[in-house]
Structure 1
Amino acid sequence: MIIKKEDITNFIPHRAPFLMIDNLILANAERFESDFFIEDDNVLVHSGHFEESGLIENIAQTCAAGFGFLDHGKDETPKIGFIGAVSKLEVFELPPVHSKIDTVATPTHQLGNIFLVKGENYCNGRKLLECEIKIVVT
């Protein structure tokens, strides 16, 4: 683990109640990994399950933390990023509250400040969602 939950907001601009990442496990130029425990009071929980939008946001925040970690020391504050597009979205299942999701984000292409990232979420080794996200970093 390279960034613990108590330090994650030093690397991303997100704040509660819209914080969808706990720990950054791995960050290098090829891959970012994180985990997140889903509480029942999470704003993206509906009918006892974490919504698809929460899984996508978790992937985006995993990227934000990974980019923030790689850029740490270069800038004073974490960079702001925006989801520009989501494509190739496949949802396999939604995780219930009180479960931990593991996320893998793989940057595949970069054009200036626009990144194409393949994202995947897992719970207990089972794939929940996969997609491609275009992220614009300011």
Structure 2
Amino acid sequence: MDNNHMPKPEAVNVRDLLPQQPPFVMVDCLLGFDNDTTTCGYTVPEDGIFTNDGCLSAEGLVENIAQTCAARQGFYNKYVLKRGVQLGFIGAIRNFRVMRLPRVGQQLKTTIRVEENVMGMTLASAIVECEGQTMATTEIKIALIENVVKE
């Protein structure tokens, strides 16, 4: 992958990379992108759809991880393949562990590492961190639809 012709990840509007639309957006910014890893940031909102009792729920953590995968695919599609955003679905979640739920106002740093890409399926490992502590870890499988949903 030729990184010389791509914008810096933090300069890209992450919403341009996602098929999801507000209020269902669970990433705020793209912090990093390379051949194997992608990192996104997210501040837990008080009125978020996955915010309960002042914390982001476990389901919100899963969706944040999935949308980090979506941001990765969107960046790759737009700046490497020169095509639009694809719709993807969570195919499987394995070994999901929550150490602590992040509180409203805390900033998450979610990093996914692509372990394998096979026939439209991406297997990635993920870690969600906040203030230097691990919040959650998992392995996620994402299935992509071939059709472009957003140019």
State the match for 1:115 in structure 2.
122
Looking at structure 1, the residues matched to 133 and 119 of structure 2 have their Cα atoms a distance apart, in angstroms, of: 34
Label 1:84 to 1:30 Cα distance change in 2 as closer, same or farther (>3 A). same
Residue from 110, 132, 148 that aligns with 1:125: 132
Looking at structure 2, the residues matched to 92 and 4 of structure 1 have their Cα atoms a distance apart, in angstroms, of: 31
Looking at structure 1, the residues matched to 34 and 58 of structure 2 have their Cα atoms a distance apart, in angstroms, of: 26
Residue from 69, 75, 81 that aligns with 1:69: 75
Looking at structure 2, the residues matched to 18 and 3 of structure 1 have their Cα atoms a distance apart, in angstroms, of: 21
Looking at structure 2, the residues matched to 2 and 34 of structure 1 have their Cα atoms a distance apart, in angstroms, of: 9
Looking at structure 2, the residues matched to 32 and 84 of structure 1 have their Cα atoms a distance apart, in angstroms, of: 19
Q: Does 1:27 align with 2:22?
A: no
Report how many aligned residue pairs link the two structures: 136
Looking at structure 2, the residues matched to 122 and 9 of structure 1 have their Cα atoms a distance apart, in angstroms, of: 21
Residue from 43, 60, 69 that aligns with 1:37: 43
Q: Does 1:104 align with 2:104?
A: no
Task: Please identify the structure whose Cα radius of gyration is greater.
Answer: 2
Structure 1 residue 4 displacement after superposition:
5.1
Looking at structure 2, the residues matched to 95 and 131 of structure 1 have their Cα atoms a distance apart, in angstroms, of: 16
Looking at structure 2, the residues matched to 60 and 36 of structure 1 have their Cα atoms a distance apart, in angstroms, of: 13
Q: Does 1:82 align with 2:89?
A: yes
State the match for 1:10 in structure 2.
16
Q: Secondary structure at the match of 1:72?
A: helix
For structure 1, the 5+ residue unaligned runs are none
Provide, for residues 89-121 of structure 1, a one-character-per-residue CA deviation record: whole Å limited to 9, x for no partner: 111000000110000001101111001110110
Structure 1 residue 3 displacement after superposition:
4.1
Structure 1 residue 83 displacement after superposition:
0.3
Provide TM-score, normalisation by structure 2.
0.86
Provide, for residues 66-91 of structure 1, a one-character-per-residue CA deviation record: whole Å limited to 9, x for no partner: 1111111521x311010011001111
Provide TM-score, normalisation by structure 1.
0.93
Q: Percent identity?
A: 29
Aligned-residue RMSD, C-alpha: 1.3
